[in-house]
Amino acid sequence: MAKDKCPECVAGAPAWMATYGDLVTLLMCFFVLLFAFSSIDAQKFTAVMQSFQGSAGVLSGGKALSEAPLVFDGMPESETSTQQVVEQNKLENLKEQIEQYLEQNEMQEMVDIELEDRGLVIRFKDNVLFDSGSAIVKTDSYEILDFLSDLLTTEELINEEIRVEGHTDNVPNYSVIYPTNWELSTARSTNVVRYFIEQSDFDPTRISAAGYSEYHPIATNDTAEGRSANRRVDVVVIKKTIVNEPEEESNGGN
């Protein structure tokens, strides 16, 4: 009796491989689109990739390398991103209120408002708060400081961190009370902080003072205009994302 012949093998990959290949391609396109739409945080991205290893069966390995939260914490719509948007809107609203006050009181040339990465900077120019060589707060500036304090102690902003920064130009200061620009810049920022606390019942735990002397200029000290710009006091409403991150460099001396 003749033996049955083996069925002839069909050349090429199994039919199901085409469908599988299409599925993998579509998944790759999906993740590429997610990547393109997102703003990537390097640390979160590393945590996401580590969590995939083993736990999701995508990469080789038996156990995830990290116990950190998985994909959802790394996505743009995370709780952190939402808080940042809320805080950004809060600072923009504060900026508009201060600008309206300055316009109504014709003080646009005396105070600058800038929204920076570190937060909202309210910049008092040159002699707005102090006379030359002095750290005594001018009585003419009480009104705007009171207005600013009222804004910063509203329920919406009651938990925001505030830092007052004193700056000078590079002209040496030789007074007996302030022998260098370090003492002058620090005394100015400290006296503004004291005014907020003593006159406006400001919570001392959320406000600080810093003196930078001549070492954080915003203009050249080679001209009178530049030196005038550098003589300033900045009141900074600091973003929480900045407050909560470890400082990588010194904020200056006092």
d(CA 112, CA 124): 7
Residues 46, 171, single domain; the answer is no
Residues, the chain, total? 254
Residues 154-170, mean pLDDT to the nearest whole number:
95
Better-scored residue on pLDDT, 32 or 252: 32
Residues 203, 171, single domain; the answer is yes
d(CA 75, CA 23): 23
Helix H or strand E segment including 87: helix 79-104
Residues 42, 161, single domain; the answer is no
Number of separate domains in the chain? 2
Residues 48-62, mean pLDDT to the nearest whole number:
52
138-142's contacts with Cβ under 8 Å and 24+ in sequence apart are 142/195, 142/199
Residues 103, 190, single domain; the answer is yes
Other Cβ atoms closer than 10 A to 122 = 24
Domain that holds residue 59: 16-74
Q: In this structure, what CATH number is given to the domain that contains residue 107?
A: 3.30.1330.60
82: Cα within 13 Å, side-chain hemisphere: 6
Task: Tell the burial category of 84 from Cβ atoms under 10 Å away from its Cβ (0-12, 13-18, 19+).
Answer: middle
Q: b/e string for 208-226 if b means 16 or more Cβ within 10 A?
A: bbbbbbbebbeeeeeeeee
74, 96, 122 — which closes off a domain?
A: 74
Establish if 40 belongs to a structural domain. Answer: yes
Residues 86, 180, single domain; the answer is yes
* pLDDT in the model for residue 86: 87
d(CA 62, CA 140): 70
Residues 220-241, mean pLDDT to the nearest whole number:
95
Beta bridge partners of residue 116, listed in sequence order:
119
Residues 237, 149, single domain; the answer is yes
Residues 124, 143, single domain; the answer is yes
Residues 41, 60, single domain; the answer is yes
Residues 137, 70, single domain; the answer is no
Other Cβ atoms closer than 10 A to 188 = 28
Establish if 249 belongs to a structural domain. Answer: no
Q: How confident is the model at residue 50 (pLDDT cuts 50, 70, 90)?
A: low
d(CA 70, CA 231): 49
Establish if 145 belongs to a structural domain. Answer: yes
Q: Which residues contact 124 (CB under 8 A, 6 or more apart)?
A: 110, 111, 141, 232, 233, 234, 235
- Looking at the whole model, is its pTM more than 0.85? no
Residues 124, 212, single domain; the answer is yes
SS3 content of the chain, % helix, strand, coil (to 5): 45, 15, 45
Residues 119-131, mean pLDDT to the nearest whole number:
96
57, 74, 91 — which closes off a domain?
A: 74
Residue 29, classed as helix, strand or coil, is helix
Residues 64, 83, single domain; the answer is no
Residues 129, 152, single domain; the answer is yes
d(CA 217, CA 171): 12
Q: What is the pLDDT of residues 56-105, one digit of tens each?
A: 444 454 554 445 554 444 444 556 678 888 889 999 999 999 999 999 99
Q: At residue 170, does pLDDT exceed 70?
A: yes
